Structure 1
Amino acid sequence: MEKGLFRVKAPLAERLRPRSLDEFVGQRHLLAEGKFLRSVLAKKKLPSLILWGPPGCGKTTLARLLAKEIAASFLSVSAVDAGVKDLRKVLMEAEKLRSLGREAILFIDEIHRFNKAQQDFLLPYVEEGLLTLIGATTENPSFRVIAPLLSRAKVLVLEPLTTEEILIILKRALEDPRGFGGLKINVEEGVLEILARASEGDARVALNFLEILVTSAEEKEGTLTITKRHLEELSLARPLLYDQSGEEHYNLLSAFHKSLRGSDPDAAVYWMVRMLEAGEDPLVIARRLVAAAAEDVGLADPVALQIALAAKDAVEFLGLPEGELALTQAVIYVALAPKSNAAYKALSLAREDVKKHGALPVPLHLRNPETKLMKELGYGKGYQYPHNFPGGYVPQEYLPEKLKGKRYYHPTDRGREKELSVRLKRLLGAKTK
């Protein structure tokens, strides 16, 4: 492309920022008539807000437009590089604006990166109304924003843009003079759709892709041509959204475990791969797999726990990528194994009684008479040694007197546990005779 055919002073995404809410694309659940933001804007007064959403969904742009709608001064800091000293300067500016009768909105990008001390410092100024806070975050604010600050702000959940909404933005970029409207660009059919899908709801990524394509496009007789062939040279792969200490970490682990519990091997393998591709420690996945084998498969198939532990050992021994196959085999096995949480329930019920009744005394017949005094006090008296009886079993009470006859384990009729159920019924029947 010839020099001077088009020049840029800022990235395309920055140049195309909407100038009004009418130009803003997406978040109709908040901005449509009758929805929350439209309603509060009609009163020309904003509460403090936390805008929680994925990258490129419009958090920063929306904050600017909201300030513009109520004619407030927009003060902005980034939590990445701002400290208390920077906040003091902003607060002094807010004081000056208030003395002039003007409202100040403080926008904090990536507010989840502020530590507790920084958030505590900000709290009283939000409480007294010196400024209205708008924080933007990609992380669940309940994990990253202190409770007092969170209670004084309305959390708005922003959604990833749809493919259709991204297409609107891409077409606007080609037509708007702030974008490439002054250029003759011929885009092969289907290219924009591919870009829109590849951006996965992130408008900034979509515009960056388009800008790369335009700046590297072939120019002939004053016209730039972009074809699907050019897309092959442009890596459209995006890092998968994942935070190993944030909400998405727990979301994916939860989906993985629930897929195992729900006997869906395809979904379980999918969520496993999602985590591995995002850089999750495979031993974190293995631990959850072992937990599912114990909690959800249980005695319906005791082999599942052995296979899950073997997969954990294989991952530790082989590492990645070789260990992935052992992990996959174990995931499929645990997902397809018959399910029983009877042991888990037995544990919970027994724990309830321990908490409720405290340290109940051990029945005398179950105590070992280690000394002469103990024997004189009746320790071990009446105990029946099971191996001295046919079948290695003799009916006798093993629970404290207060819990006599209590049942914690109720086996299912699924898998291997069906055999345990039959045996338990036979033993209980002998006990009641």
Structure 2
Amino acid sequence: MYVAEIERKVDMVHQTSLFDAEPEHNPTAQPKNQPLNPLAPGEPLAARMRPRTLDEIVGQEHLLGSGKILRRIIEGDKITSMIFWGPPGSGKTTLAEVIANHTHARFVRLSAVSAGVADLRKTMEEAKKFRFTGKHTILFVDEIHRFNKAQQDAILPHVEGGTVTLIGATTENPSFEVNAALLSRSRVFVLHGLNEEQIVSILHRALTDNERGLGRLHALLDDDALQQIAIYASGDARTALNVLELAVLSHKVDASDETPVQITLPMIEDAMQHRALLYDKGGDQHYDMISALHKAVRGSDPDGSLYWLIRMLEAGEDPLYLARRVIRMASEDIGLADPQALGICVAAQQAVHFVGMPEAGVILAEAVAYLATAPKSNSVYNAYNQIRAEILSGHNDPVPLWIRNAPTSLMKNLGYGKEYKYAHDYYKDMSVEDAERPPVGKLQEYLPESLVGRRFFEPGQQGREASVKRWLEKRREAERPD
């Protein structure tokens, strides 16, 4: 179990034997004032370039700009329990490290990947001992979303009682991944992925830093190469620095050689290879992207629709899940405006199941493009929801007698089916204005008594529903009393 503690300005000399251990002498360790050898094995560039002060942090101006709340909290050493939520490489752990460097409190790190309840219990017992000596403990839990309910519950009483101040870092939505009780006692700070300009700034710093970066290697990159790394990184500073380090170190074999080496765009592309896309089938990215796909289809944007579909497929989403969602879109957002849409999507689902990936991707793309360019209507969807709400609110009247089934003589004697009008016997004598629609006249009432006169289905004006709308307006007009 890895538990690292940072002690700053320790004023408890008499506690040394209980809490502190003398660091082991390492004769091979480099003095702190000596620059690291960038070609020697050790910490990766991303770890070496991690900011140590607030002023070194790039991005997150909404939290760390002059006068912003998080900056004031850190500078004033008024640390309260908080959760840092943001994508990978946005600076969550970096912020925790900056707090560790700045605070006078005892700072303890735990990784939720490897820590268990026993580790938490030990940490809390130590925090209690330090509290008796006047030393407060800040507990940083990286990837806190990986703690289960029992582990999070083990932290809660110690946060409530002031034994520790909690700082959690997560890439997942804390509303779903952090216990409500723990979340209510913490302030959530949302970190944003870095933009391309900010990534390029970080890369420039790494290239020119002689102490922690690659400055002593005299590597030269043109703007196109730096921009390509920034695009590839997708807001993740760690990824960008890893690509830069690989590209430079794979072409510079002698750190003592001061001859500049030009790192070209092809070298960068070779170092990038194929990146695994940021995606979690059970997390926010999954739900955000399927939402984006659905909204792009609804908004009749084939470009956006195809983009989100293909991005999900490339990230490893189950194509059958996407096929099911596409079928739902056909009913919810196209409906009777183009009844063929549902059949096309069902056929696509069957084809995806039969063909499999990667060939099935084009089949799904065809179905999505069809939906995006089809006329739109949510009339059936709205009618369904309205009627469901009526039923759930208590409108559960008995079926009118005239439309009940009457298979026995007893039921017939009770009036079941009496005065039912068999529609086909009447249609042949009624005038037809539109060959694709039934006659305008309504033969009898089919709703329960308490809902007579209610209108639930309101067709739209796109596609096939335009003629449905005209027919229904005439039908309802004919029903009105003179």
Match of 1:199 in 2: 233
CA distance in 1, matches of 2:201, 2:479: 75
Matched, 1:271 2:304: no
Match of 1:412 in 2: 460
CA distance in 1, matches of 2:215, 2:41: 12
Tell me: CA distance 1:101–1:416, structure 2 relative to 1, closer, same or farther (3 Å). Answer: same
CA distance in 2, matches of 1:349, 1:213: 60
Tell me: CA distance 1:56–1:20, structure 2 relative to 1, closer, same or farther (3 Å). Answer: same
CA distance in 2, matches of 1:232, 1:424: 61
Matched, 1:401 2:449: yes
CA distance in 1, matches of 2:392, 2:324: 28
CA distance in 2, matches of 1:107, 1:269: 41
CA distance in 2, matches of 1:383, 1:200: 66
Task: Give a deviation string over 1:271-295, Cα, whole Å, max 9, x none.
Answer: 0001000000011111111111101
Deviates more, 1:157-166 or 1:371-380: 371-380
Match of 2:127 in 1: 94
CA distance in 2, matches of 1:169, 1:375: 84
- Measured after TM superposition, the shift of residue 180 of structure 1 is 4.0
CA distance in 1, matches of 2:248, 2:212: 11
TM-score (norm 1): 0.94
- Measured after TM superposition, the shift of residue 218 of structure 1 is 4.1
Tell me: CA distance 1:224–1:8, structure 2 relative to 1, closer, same or farther (3 Å). Answer: farther
Deviates more, 1:257-266 or 1:378-387: 378-387
Task: Give a deviation string over 1:375-431, Cα, whole Å, max 9, x none.
Answer: 232222221111111247652111122222221111112110112222223333444
Task: Give a deviation string over 1:138-163, Cα, whole Å, max 9, x none.
Answer: 11111111111111111111111222
Match of 2:340 in 1: 303
TM-score (norm 2): 0.85
Task: Give a deviation string over 1:118-157, Cα, whole Å, max 9, x none.
Answer: 1011110111110110111111111111111111111111
Determine if contact 1:6/1:183 at 8 Å carries over to the other structure.
no
Tell me: CA distance 1:70–1:356, structure 2 relative to 1, closer, same or farther (3 Å). Answer: same
Matched, 1:213 2:247: yes
Task: Give a deviation string over 1:2-32, Cα, whole Å, max 9, x none.
Answer: xx88424321222222222122222111111
Q: Pairwise mapping of residues 29-428 of structure 1 onto structure 2 (< 5 A)?
A: 29-180=62-213, 183-190=216-223, 191-218=225-252, 221-228=257-264, 229-389=266-426, 390-391=429-430, 395-428=443-476
- Percent identity over the alignment is 50
- Measured after TM superposition, the shift of residue 236 of structure 1 is 4.6
CA distance in 1, matches of 2:107, 2:222: 41
Tell me: CA distance 1:6–1:219, structure 2 relative to 1, closer, same or farther (3 Å). Answer: closer
CA distance in 1, matches of 2:444, 2:398: 17
CA distance in 2, matches of 1:265, 1:272: 10
What letter is aligned with 1:298? G
CA distance in 1, matches of 2:411, 2:67: 80
Tell me: CA distance 1:230–1:355, structure 2 relative to 1, closer, same or farther (3 Å). Answer: closer
SS at match of 2:56: coil
Structure 1 gaps, min length 5: none
Tell me: CA distance 1:231–1:38, structure 2 relative to 1, closer, same or farther (3 Å). Answer: closer
Tell me: CA distance 1:362–1:195, structure 2 relative to 1, closer, same or farther (3 Å). Answer: closer
SS at match of 1:46: coil
What letter is aligned with 2:299? G
CA distance in 2, matches of 1:17, 1:432: 75
Determine if contact 1:298/1:340 at 8 Å carries over to the other structure.
yes
- Measured after TM superposition, the shift of residue 250 of structure 1 is 0.4
CA distance in 2, matches of 1:365, 1:241: 60
CA distance in 1, matches of 2:480, 2:55: 78
CA distance in 1, matches of 2:227, 2:318: 34
Aligned residue pairs total 430
Deviates more, 1:101-110 or 1:416-425: 416-425
CA distance in 1, matches of 2:60, 2:232: 20
SS at match of 1:183: helix
Tell me: CA distance 1:196–1:309, structure 2 relative to 1, closer, same or farther (3 Å). Answer: same
CA distance in 2, matches of 1:210, 1:189: 12
Tell me: CA distance 1:251–1:6, structure 2 relative to 1, closer, same or farther (3 Å). Answer: closer
Structure 2 gaps, min length 5: 1-36, 431-438
Determine if contact 2:81/2:186 at 8 Å carries over to the other structure.
yes
Deviates more, 1:220-229 or 1:150-159: 220-229
CA distance in 2, matches of 1:172, 1:117: 43
Deviates more, 1:283-292 or 1:191-200: 191-200
